[in-house]
Structure formats: structure tokens, C-alpha cells
Structure 1
């Protein structure tokens, strides 16, 4: 969310200060721009061996080289191809990972408010990138995570408040498509994924938490117009922000990095995190978009969503 100009906001480097991640391995999806680069850079700077999982390999290589130069690394982070619009690409990535260990998977890549499009698998594109692909990737990499009692982080958004769960129509095959409701719905599903994934894999010692980076000006918003932003309350009509400034990418990376490394979150999953803390349950008079909706933490809804989504992935994307 936007925040006050005077606020002293932590960055991902602040979160990791004094922490040595040497020997730990991390994957960050969507790490060729914005918050993804900032997450990967902070983890690499603390000693982790980081792989940038990206759709645009050239952009990923530039990002990796930039991280190495910024951090003074002898070796740049690895870069591997993945297209979250294709479940076949997700499976290929997981297969190429081979037997490498994995301590941390950060499902950072996102897609917000494009026109209605469907993937080759038949998924609505926002659901594919924000929900189905992270679901599949996190499941396929589970054995590697379990071997290290690892963590999974999935990036969400305050926009989850814009939607109600529609398990009967995950891909907009029966109802009219609204770009921003679709984004909110995919992020609501991501929140519920964290709840059920953590429940199912508790015995493996693997957790998943959802988190919002807050309001960050990145290319995620490329499909949103100024008029959209005014209508949704993101900006005032004069272009000022209703609740202060936007976060920098480094500040936006703080909560995802905290989710992946904070000792106080050890063994805790199914949470929604905001501003490096467990988010409060939303209730009036909290501003729209702050905190977490009760629907995001409903264990019964999380279980029912999983039971519907898992066969879709297995049947369409085997």
C-alpha cells in the first residue's frame, strides 16, 4: 500500500542485516525486473545461491549481471527460463532443477489486469500466472524443499479484497470478465493456496505464506490506466497519492524476504503478511486494501479450492 512520506520503511537489506545465508539456495520467479530483482539481489548479497527464474532470458541475464556488479559477487546468480503462462514450461523448469537442494522458493512473478486471454492450457491468464503456475511449481519442487525444511512464499496483493471466491468458475468461462476483479480473485486464490499447501505439507516441514509487497511502481501496472487508478482509489484525480508515497522496489522486497528468512516464522504457514508482520484481519474502519480478508484464511474454502484446482492442473497439464 502507499505509505506516508516520512515513514522510515525497511528494505530487504535491512531485514537481512547481520544474517548469513551462505549454503542456502533460493529460486525467485519474475526476477528480471522490479521487486523480483530487489528480492534476488538482497538474498544474493546475504550469501544465498540464487536462481532467477524468468521468461525473458536476456533481461534475466542483465539482471543477474547487475546484481553481481552491485554486490561485488565473484559469480552472478543463475538464470533459468520459465513461462508461467505455460504449465509445460513450469514442468520443464522443475525437471531441469534435477536433484539440487532448495531452501526457499519465492513465487514473485505476477500479472495484473490484462484483457481477457486464455493460455494454451485453457486457463485465464491472471489465474495462470498468479495461481495455477505457482501451485504447480511449488508442488513439483516439494521434494527438494522437504529435504531442507524449506519455505515457500507467494506474492499477493491488497486487491484480494476486490473479489469473492468463485470455485465454480475459476477461469471466467461462465461469468463476465472484469480485469481488476480477475486480479483480485487470483490473489485471493493465492492466499488460500498458502493455507492449504501449509496444511498438506506440515509433515514435510515445508510452509507457504502469502505476502503483499505493498504499493510499488513497477511494470506490473502496465495494463492499468490513470483512469483505472483513480476509479480504484490508488491515486487522487490530481495525481497525488491518497495515503502517501509508493514504496521503492527495495522496500517492496522487504516483506517477501522477511517471509522467507525470519526466524520467528519458522514452522508457521498459511499466513498473510504485510509490512514485515502478520497482517491484521480487515474490519472497519481500516482503509480498503489493508489487512487480510477473512475469506483469505478460510481453511474449508482453501481445501475446496485445492480439490477443484488440482485436477485441472493434472488433467490439462500432464
Structure 2
């Protein structure tokens, strides 16, 4: 098939990276490959048990690597602030906003936000803002925000962002993933000192697809997801390649999105087309203002010395 692979990742010694949701799936393989190429990597994980298991696997695979396990729950702004305070003391070269939830029955975060919008967008918005001084202290920082092809079905419902009046799990997921793209574009406009790029994995076999059916007790859908993951999806190792490309490859364009080329379901990473809504500056400004208001996080760059 050809194309860019993990073997093309440049040497990353001397660079520091944080990957959210690094305990499994795409996040795990993103963190593993960054560590293999010499980056100092923080595995930012919600579950201490699953995070420790991922840490053990990465350190076994890269015994001379510089790997740290960090506790981060993106559905709790207190946890986000605590994590950022612990990990903002040194320049940060790469932040991969990877963690997410998909198509859940309506739940709320610790701060009362709808879970998908709160975790996938607001948690990462807050984390990126709190880590911004560390990012801007690096020589060539990148922020990679992981979206989904289902962003194309998304619509920003500013009159009901939290799905309080009407909730459909797939519409809420599409909105959150579209918000990831709008955030990527707006961050690129506001912070020229870093590269803000998006990535989507195509259809990759991970645990993400199982969460919703299992929370609903829908065994038939859970089996259908397992069937699709085996017969149709590409492995998580391949699904991580767009994130790795966006995080490390030369020539990556600010504000662009990278995913599987062609039909965008599987294959080598390439620049891909975004939904037109993602590029609208008025949507970017509005989402930014709402996000600052909801999270209490503003993007204040450090003063020049």
C-alpha cells in the first residue's frame, strides 16, 4: 500500500510529549511510538489501573525510554487543573488531545456538562489553555486534537449544547467532534507560535466503540461492534498513524486535518478535507467564548521577558 509509516517518525530525543487517553487504543500506540523515537512521554490516563498496565507495557517495549504516568480525568476540571499544574514546569513540544468517549447514553461530567461535549471538547480546551505557557516555551510546539469522520454529521447547537432539551447520542458525538475541528482552526488563528492540527483515525478497532452499547446493556450492538472491528476496521496501530504524522512529520500545515487517505476509513495518513463549518471564523469565535465561560480557562500567553 505504501505511504507514511511509524518508521518515518523523526528522532525525538530532547522533546517532551503528553498524550491523553494513552492507556489503550490509538492513544496507547501514539505514546508508544513517540517513546520509541526518543521523546519523553507522559501517559495521561483516567484509570490508575489501566494507566499502570499501559505504562508497564510501554516501558517493557522501550526499556530505556523516558515515560511517566499521569492522572487525568477530562470529565473533571479539577483533575485537569491538577494535572496541568504538575506537568507545566518544563517546555512541552507535543500535546496530543486524544482521549474521548463516543455515543454514550446521556451522562454529565463532574462539572455538570454533557459527557461527550465535556470530555471530548471542554476538557481538552481547558487542558490546552492551562498548558499553553509550557507549549509556547518549546521551540516548535504542536497541539494535535483527535477528531472523527463523524464530525461531518455534527452541528453546533449553541441553544442546547448540553443536550438538556433534546439528546441523541450520535448527534452529541458529532457535535463534540466538530467542536474539536473548530477548536483546532481557532487555536491556529489565535496562537501563531504553535502548530494546531487535527487528526482522525478512520475506522480503527478500539475499545471506544464498545462503551455506549455496554453502558446501555445492548448486547446485540456490542456484538455488532466486535464483528465490525474484526472484519472492517484497521488495527489501532494504523489508526494512530494520522496522530503521529500530525505530531511529528515535516510539512504539516497549521489548522489542517490529517486522516487516512482516499475514503478516509483506512490507509496511510494524508491531509484530508474538513467539514466547511469547521473553518468558519464566526463559529470559532463563538465556541471559544462559550468554552472560556464554561471552563473558566482563558488563553493568556506569558509576558515577553
TM-score of Structure 1 vs Structure 2, range by shorter chain: 0.7 to 0.9
1:73-222 to 2 correspondence within 5 Å? 73-75=63-65, 77-148=67-138, 149-173=140-164, 175-202=165-192, 205-222=193-210
| 2:281 paired residue number | 299
Tell me the distance in 2 between the aligned counterparts of 1:128 and 1:269. Answer: 25
Tell me the distance in 1 between the aligned counterparts of 2:223 and 2:157. Answer: 27
Tell me the distance in 2 between the aligned counterparts of 1:166 and 1:125. Answer: 15
> Shift in Å at residue 210 of structure 1?
1.4
| 1:24 paired residue number | 15
| 2:7 paired residue number | 14
| 2:258 paired residue number | 273
List alignment gaps of at least 5 residues for structure 1.
Answer: 1-6, 281-291
Tell me the distance in 2 between the aligned counterparts of 1:132 and 1:36. Answer: 18
Counterpart secondary structure, 1:308: helix
Tell me the distance in 2 between the aligned counterparts of 1:245 and 1:43. Answer: 27
Tell me the distance in 2 between the aligned counterparts of 1:300 and 1:98. Answer: 31
Task: Kindly provide the CA deviation profile for residues 276-296 of structure 1, in whole angstroms up to 9, marking residues without a partner as x.
Answer: 22213xxxxxxxxxxx21112
- Residues 304 and 229 (structure 1), Cα distance of their counterparts in 2 relative to 1, 3 Å cut: farther
> Shift in Å at residue 230 of structure 1?
11
Contact 1:217 1:248 in 2 (8 A): yes
Contact 2:109 2:119 in 1 (8 A): no
Tell me the distance in 2 between the aligned counterparts of 1:227 and 1:56. Answer: 27
> Shift in Å at residue 67 of structure 1?
1.3
- Residues 145 and 132 (structure 1), Cα distance of their counterparts in 2 relative to 1, 3 Å cut: same
Contact 2:144 2:247 in 1 (8 A): yes
| 1:245 paired residue number | 232
| 1:312 paired residue number | 294
Pairwise CA RMSD? 2.3
- Residues 78 and 182 (structure 1), Cα distance of their counterparts in 2 relative to 1, 3 Å cut: same
> Shift in Å at residue 75 of structure 1?
4.6
Task: Kindly provide the CA deviation profile for residues 269-310 of structure 1, in whole angstroms up to 9, marking residues without a partner as x.
Answer: 222221222213xxxxxxxxxxx2111222221111111221
Contact 1:15 1:254 in 2 (8 A): no
- Residues 98 and 185 (structure 1), Cα distance of their counterparts in 2 relative to 1, 3 Å cut: closer
- Identify the match of residue 31 of structure 2 among 31, 40, 45: 40
> Shift in Å at residue 128 of structure 1?
1.1
Task: Kindly provide the CA deviation profile for residues 144-182 of structure 1, in whole angstroms up to 9, marking residues without a partner as x.
Answer: 111113100111001112222212221112x31001111
Task: Kindly provide the CA deviation profile for residues 117-146 of structure 1, in whole angstroms up to 9, marking residues without a partner as x.
Answer: 112212000011100000000011011111
Tell me the distance in 2 between the aligned counterparts of 1:139 and 1:127. Answer: 17
Tell me the distance in 2 between the aligned counterparts of 1:299 and 1:262. Answer: 27
